[in-house]
Chain A
Amino acid sequence: MIQQERMIVVRQSEIAHHIFELTLQGQIVQDMNPGQFVHIRVSDSFEPLLRRPISIANINKETNEATVIYRAEGRGTQILSQKQVGDEVDVLGPLGNGFPVEAAPEGGTALLVGGGIGVPPLYELSQQLAARGIRTIHVFGFATEDVCFYEDQFSTLGDTHFVTVDGTKGTKGFVTDLLDELKPEFDVFYACGPLPMLRALEGFYPDKAGYLSFEERMGCGIGACFACICKTTDQTEKDYVKVCSDGPVFPKGVVEL
């Protein structure tokens, strides 16, 4: 159920260049699933006015803590990055439909592909897959080495490979270059990142089951404002889907890329 709560800042730190890890405590953690997001109001004033949608990177239902990882680039996220331990943050969530953990067959292997700030939701997913005995392979692309994060965390869960656009860490190029080189064996893939990456993946694995998490500018985050619309490939049943409330995760092939 979607709730609004003033969550408490438990921890916040800069884990890479302009990349922040923020842990919040509150009751709504109980309803969270991997791939869902929270809609954060960074200020109680009208400046900035709208909430910021940020994906959930880690869920701890025992301590009621959830972690988000975001890039502090715009006005809103810069304000958020200044929150101190003990501060309250107005959070609406959990929102959207997350990754189907059960789509990975028992004893199987899942390929997790992330690009930049699309990597965080794959962390909770990877943990939940690991808990079900699914083997995970992580292939993550970043722009440069200084914005890479969570190498150790992912490495404890499964094979982890990095690729950077400028080659400062791992292979030089894009995730598809690395996938071409690695040729991983897997049953299902999960991905989150920029549209060109998602598009490339769909083309790369036409015969595999896959789930893609999308990003789009949002207004309300709950499906009411029609800001984050994507066209569907099969326009017979539904002409469009809303990233916020129908997604952000869709099975491969649903959204026109």
Chain B
Amino acid sequence: MSRLSIQLPGLDLKNPIMPASGCFGFGKEFAGLYDLSKLGAIMIKATTVETRLGNPTPRVAETAAGMLNAIGLQNPGLEKVMKNELPYLEGFDVPIIANVAGTTTEDYVEVAEKISTAPNVKALELNISCPNVKHGGITFGTDPVVASELVEAVKKVSKVPVYVKLSPNVTDIVEIAKAVEAGGADGITMINTLVGMRLDERTGKPVIANGTGGLSGPAVKPVAIRMVYEVYKAVNIPIIGMGGVTSAQDVIDFMSAGASAVAVGTANFVDPFVCPNIIEALPARLEKLGVQRIKEIIGRSHL
């Protein structure tokens, strides 16, 4: 048992660090920079039944200590992901969490059923919180009843544990968290991006072609920490926390608030080596805290 290892439903993590979905593609670009086997897990880019070309550009805009994006779930589609992307990742000793997205319940069920049979997919992450597509996605993430029913339907077909990615763009995130737990979710991942907008200085119109985009980066961390803190108190399933993580200290903060593992998103765009750097820095942080194993700090905010 290493000092950083964490066990979660379906996931035997050598460390609690994983790149967040949408911030790491399907891993290929980063495989040229470092050994992906160093990572605790990889959350791959959202996969839908059919190929999606995403939104028009500009798709990103920088904001104070953060960025907005409206990529629009661009991905090659289920068949190509299973034929090309997942087999490539089998070359690494790292569990894959497949992010599943769709427009209808049937879409989610189809992707979940098939992608959960891939040998390296050890868990699913149901994307019911993408703010950048007109149909599906977030509509499933804002209504507790709809969310719970979707989880039930996916749980029936999935061969691996199902985590649900929650949206912060709701009045009461605890209510949704409880609903997905009741629906049979094995875990929660949170938070997705916060809906935002940036205006062009000259024209006064939105910079992003989609109008709105999802805010991420260090700016959102306090919101994410608060939400993990609240959800941890309300549910009995594990949480994978994310939102503005850039350092080992951020990881400690999320785990203190109640996360059992932590995903790194936007920081991968700023520093592509951020994940291995954080993993390397964690033991010294634990030493400083006088903690032997990282799992001891999970939820310490609440003690």
Beyond A46-B218, A49-B266, is A226–B65 a contact (Cβ under 8 Å)?
no
Q: Is B273 an interface residue (CB 8 A)?
A: yes
Cβ A50 vs Cβ B67 within 8 A: yes
- Which residues of A have CB within 8 Å of B22? 225
**A243: nearest chain-B partner, CB-CB:** B57
What 1/0 mask marks residues of chain B from 66 to 88 whose CB sits below 8 Å from any chain A CB?
11010100100000000000000
What 1/0 mask marks residues of chain A from 223 to 242 whose CB sits below 8 Å from any chain B CB?
11111111100000001100
Q: How far is the CB of A111 from chain B (nearest CB, A)?
A: 28
A169 to B250, CA, bound (A): 54
**A225: nearest chain-B partner, CB-CB:** B269
Cβ B53 vs Cβ A240 within 8 A: yes
A92 to B271, CA, bound (A): 9
Q: Is B23 an interface residue (CB 8 A)?
A: yes
Q: Is A82 an interface residue (CB 8 A)?
A: no
Cβ B272 vs Cβ A225 within 8 A: no
Cβ A229 vs Cβ B54 within 8 A: yes
Q: Is A219 an interface residue (CB 8 A)?
A: yes
* Among B53, B57, B66, contact of A227 (Cβ-Cβ < 8 Å): B57
A113 to B24, CA, bound (A): 35
Cβ B60 vs Cβ A224 within 8 A: no
Question: Which of under 10, 10 to 19, 20 to 34, or 35 or more describes the interface residues of B?
Answer: 35 or more
What 1/0 mask marks residues of chain B from 6 to 48 whose CB sits below 8 Å from any chain A CB?
0000000000000000111100111011000000000001000
Beyond A2-B33, A47-B64, A47-B65, is A229–B57 a contact (Cβ under 8 Å)?
yes
- The binding surface of chain A is classed by DSSP as loop
Q: Is A216 an interface residue (CB 8 A)?
A: yes
What 1/0 mask marks residues of chain A from 81 to 113 whose CB sits below 8 Å from any chain B CB?
000000000001000000000000000000000
Beyond A50-B269, A239-B51, A245-B29, is A227–B59 a contact (Cβ under 8 Å)?
yes
What 1/0 mask marks residues of chain B from 139 to 156 whose CB sits below 8 Å from any chain A CB?
000000000000000000
* Among A49, A216, A217, A245, contact of B65 (Cβ-Cβ < 8 Å): A49
* Among A49, A221, A228, contact of B66 (Cβ-Cβ < 8 Å): A49
A231 to B30, CA, bound (A): 24
Residues of B within 8 A of A (CB): 22-25, 28-30, 32-33, 45, 51, 53-54, 57-62, 64-67, 69, 71, 74, 217-219, 246, 266, 268-273
The 10 closest A-B CB pairs, nearest first, are A220-B269, A46-B65, A224-B25, A227-B60, A223-B29, A224-B29, A219-B269, A46-B218, A217-B58, A222-B29
Can you list 23 A-B pairs, Cβ within 8 angstroms, ordered by A?
A: A2-B33, A2-B272, A4-B272, A46-B218, A47-B65, A49-B62, A217-B57, A217-B58, A219-B269, A220-B272, A222-B29, A222-B33, A223-B25, A224-B268, A224-B272, A225-B69, A227-B58, A227-B69, A228-B57, A229-B54, A230-B57, A231-B53, A239-B53
Residues of A within 8 A of B (CB): 1-2, 4, 41, 46-51, 76, 92, 216-231, 239-240, 245
A49-B217, A50-B270, A222-B30 given; 9 more Cβ-contact pairs under 8 Å: A46-B218, A49-B62, A49-B266, A76-B62, A217-B59, A220-B29, A220-B269, A223-B25, A226-B59
